[in-house]
Amino acid sequence: MSLVIVGSIGLDTISTPSGSVIDAIGGSAVYGSISASYFTRVKLIGVVGSDYPPSAIKVLQRHNINLDGLERAEGKTFRWTGEYHDLNKAETLLTELNVFADFVPQLPQSCISCHSLLLANIHPNLQLQVLDKTGSYQHVACDTMNFWIEGCPDELARVISRVHIVFMNEDEVKSFTKETNIFSSAKAILDM
């Protein structure tokens, strides 16, 4: 079994009550890949800019993540800046798409016959393009964030209707469904 993960690879600037970091390795595809690497073979598909540090690539390689689908483009890497006032809720201060704005996922042939697919945090239209290019995965999941929920709700709804698992935090699911109760929000997602 193997897992294909398509999504954001970035550099994050984060402030918490305990401290802060600037340009830390980030992106939902990175976090998903590292986590999944303990349980299965992972094939990562994404784009980084020319400023992406070699040390971050080495972190992925140490986890035996297949990087055949990693593109390096001229320009700056995707960046996210946020604050955590408590550790359960992030406030997005800045999202800079940079090279991610022009990213068109290219799936190597070896990714078409994999067992599972995670559409990590990318534009819902890109998630739909990936779904249209792929075979029949046994498990398909998607992740999103407030940036796409607010900017592309119709496209996101089309993605959600085609996947088995959706990753959203409580604020995201309430914002997307326009429900005030988490249970009503979850039901609205399940009914898509």
pLDDT at 109: 82
What confidence score (pLDDT) does residue 88 get?
76
Residue ranges making up the domain that contains 132: 2-8+28-75+100-190
Q: How many domains does the chain have?
A: 1
With respect to residue 13, please indicate whether it lies within any of the assigned structural domains: no
Residue 118 placed within a domain: yes
Question: Looking at residue 112, which CATH number applies to its domain?
Answer: 3.40.1190.20
| 18 in a structural domain | no
Backbone phi, then psi, for 34, in 5-degree steps? -65, -45
Kindly state whether residue 32 falls inside one of the protein's structural domains.
yes
pTM, two decimals, is 0.91
In a domain, 42, yes or no: yes
pLDDT of residue 113: 73
- Confidence (pLDDT) at 133: 84
From first to last of its 192 residues, the chain has per-residue pLDDT tens of: 799 999 999 999 999 999 999 999 999 999 999 999 999 999 999 999 999 999 999 999 999 999 999 999 999 999 999 999 877 788 889 999 999 999 999 888 878 777 899 999 999 999 999 999 876 788 999 999 888 999 999 999 999 999 999 999 998 999 999 999 999 999 999 998
